């Protein structure tokens, strides 16, 4: 005889693994432990019967809101040791350590003897974690001598920040990121610096436009080599920018989201747009935040809406004097050559200067000059 739905207990509800797997990503580990100790039945459910669903997604980043320093380091070390001891670590396939102080010994503990099943790892804005430590781990994971089938990691969130603060989705002004002359305090003519920092959103290549992260890495060439070596194995939250045609710049990490409209003149670009769902996965950056309900690259590159948006991504180097730092308008190499890049004796194009001092001449520079004429502005 079927039980009355009105008399169903919490245990009955959570015993459905589909319901459980859609609830636990929203619960911190402390809540899961508190739930497990309330009864033997719930303990068995959490740690034995459905442990594969309960601990598939493990997010420890909330610790940085309450604790800091050596306490977190000790806590992380003890947490991974405990999870491995009770055979829980093998169930974790998505691990979020954003913003935490990660000691040098923690990363190797996540991948003990190449037996970890973590497929998506997010260590954005992690403290005390050197580039070299991350690069050494990746070199170890993709080494040619690795045992067959031992590489579990498929996606790494490392380059993009946890959030940006802007006054619109088209103008990314993180206090930690310098975008050029217009980012300096006092350079926004007639506009208060505080008024620029009133919009918070999650940075992703499709829902934001502008500089997503600072490109001043200690070993930029090493990252390019490593990401190339990881092609087809591990996907990152950035891609390699090979610049436009004829560029003499070395490859760099793409750190500027340019939206879907392309060049202001031709509405395209020499490299053509990247399209989720069509462009190969290794040529697409991961989308933020990491997926809650699946630990796959496909899920990390899929919008909740099911759309397959196109977008352009480049680096700040090849966009110098080509992109407006305010409205993000830009001009490709086929349509515009900045005066600073004219070769000696070459004929100058018949188009006017598009970008001056980081602002597009036709719109944003004019607006800034007019705004600055009033009282309180630079020219007032």
**pLDDT tens digit sequence for 105-156:** 667 666 655 557 899 999 998 887 888 889 998 999 999 998 888 899 999 9
- Cα separations in angstroms, 107 against 88, 92, 131, 241, 274: 17, 14, 12, 28, 32
List pLDDT tens digits, range 233-270: 999 999 999 888 878 889 999 999 998 889 999 999 99
Residue 198 confidence (pLDDT) above 50: no
Q: How far apart are CA 260 and CA 204, in angstroms?
A: 13
Q: Please state the pTM of the whole predicted model.
A: 0.81
Highest mean pLDDT among 168-177, 227-236, 287-296: 227-236
Tokens of 299: 């899920």
Residue 78 confidence (pLDDT) above 90: no
Residue 69 confidence (pLDDT) above 70: no
Under the banding of pLDDT at 50, 70 and 90, the label for residue 79 is confident
| 199, 167 Cβ separation under 8 angstroms | yes
Who contacts 373 (Cβ-Cβ below 8 Å, separation ≥6)?
190, 379, 380
Residue 330 confidence (pLDDT) above 50: yes
Determine phi and psi for 246, rounding to 5 degrees. Answer: 80, 5
Q: For position 231, what pLDDT does the model report?
A: 95
Residue whose C-alpha is closest to residue 56's, from 82, 81, 80, 21:
21
Q: How far apart are CA 123 and CA 134, in angstroms?
A: 10
Under the banding of pLDDT at 50, 70 and 90, the label for residue 64 is low
| 107, 132 Cβ separation under 8 angstroms | no
Q: For position 81, what pLDDT does the model report?
A: 75
Residue 295 confidence (pLDDT) above 70: yes
Greater confidence (39 vs 103) lies with 39
Q: How far apart are CA 200 and CA 299, in angstroms?
A: 24
């Amino acid at each position: 005889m079927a039980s009355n739905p009105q008399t169903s207990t919490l245990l009955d509800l959570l015993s459905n693994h589909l319901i459980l797997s859609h609830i636990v990503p929203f619960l911190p580990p402390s809540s899961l432990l508190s739930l497990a100790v309330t009864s033997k039945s719930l303990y068995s459910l959490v740690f034995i019967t459905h442990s594969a669903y309960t601990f598939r997604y493990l997010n420890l980043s909330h610790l940085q809101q309450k604790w800091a320093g050596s306490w977190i380091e000790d806590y992380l070390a003890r947490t991974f040791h405990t999870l491995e001891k009770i055979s829980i670590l093998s169930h974790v396939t998505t691990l979020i350590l954003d913003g935490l102080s990660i000691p040098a010994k923690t990363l190797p503990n996540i991948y003990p003897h190449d037996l970890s099943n973590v497929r998506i790892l997010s260590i954005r804005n992690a403290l005390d974690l050197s580039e070299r430590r991350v690069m050494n781990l990746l070199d170890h994971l993709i080494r040619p001598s690795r045992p067959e089938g031992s590489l579990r990691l498929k996606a790494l969130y490392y380059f993009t920040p946890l959030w940006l603060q802007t006054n619109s989705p088209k103008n990314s002004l993180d206090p930690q990121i310098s975008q050029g002359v217009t980012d300096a305090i006092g350079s926004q003519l007639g506009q208060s610096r505080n008024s620029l920092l009133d919009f918070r959103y999650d940075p992703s290549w499709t829902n934001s436009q502008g500089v997503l992260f600072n490109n001043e890495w200690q070993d930029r060439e090493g990252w390019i080599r490593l990401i190339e070596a990881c092609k087809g194995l591990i996907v990152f939250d950035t891609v390699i920018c090979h610049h436009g045609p004829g560029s003499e710049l070395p490859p760099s990490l793409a750190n500027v989201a340019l939206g879907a409209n392309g060049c202001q003149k031709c509405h395209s670009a020499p490299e053509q747009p990247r399209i989720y769902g069509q462009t190969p996965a290794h040529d697409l950056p991961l989308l933020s935040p990491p997926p809650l309900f699946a630990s796959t690259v496909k899920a990390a590159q899929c919008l909740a809406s099911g759309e397959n948006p196109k977008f352009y991504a480049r680096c700040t180097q090849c966009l110098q004097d080509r992109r407006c730092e305010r409205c993000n308008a830009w001009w490709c190499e086929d349509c515009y050559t900045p005066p600073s890049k004219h070769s000696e004796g070459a004929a100058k194009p018949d188009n006017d200067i598009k970008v001056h001092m980081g602002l597009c001449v036709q719109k944003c520079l004019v607006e800034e000059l007019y705004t600055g004429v009033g009282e309180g502005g630079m020219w007032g």
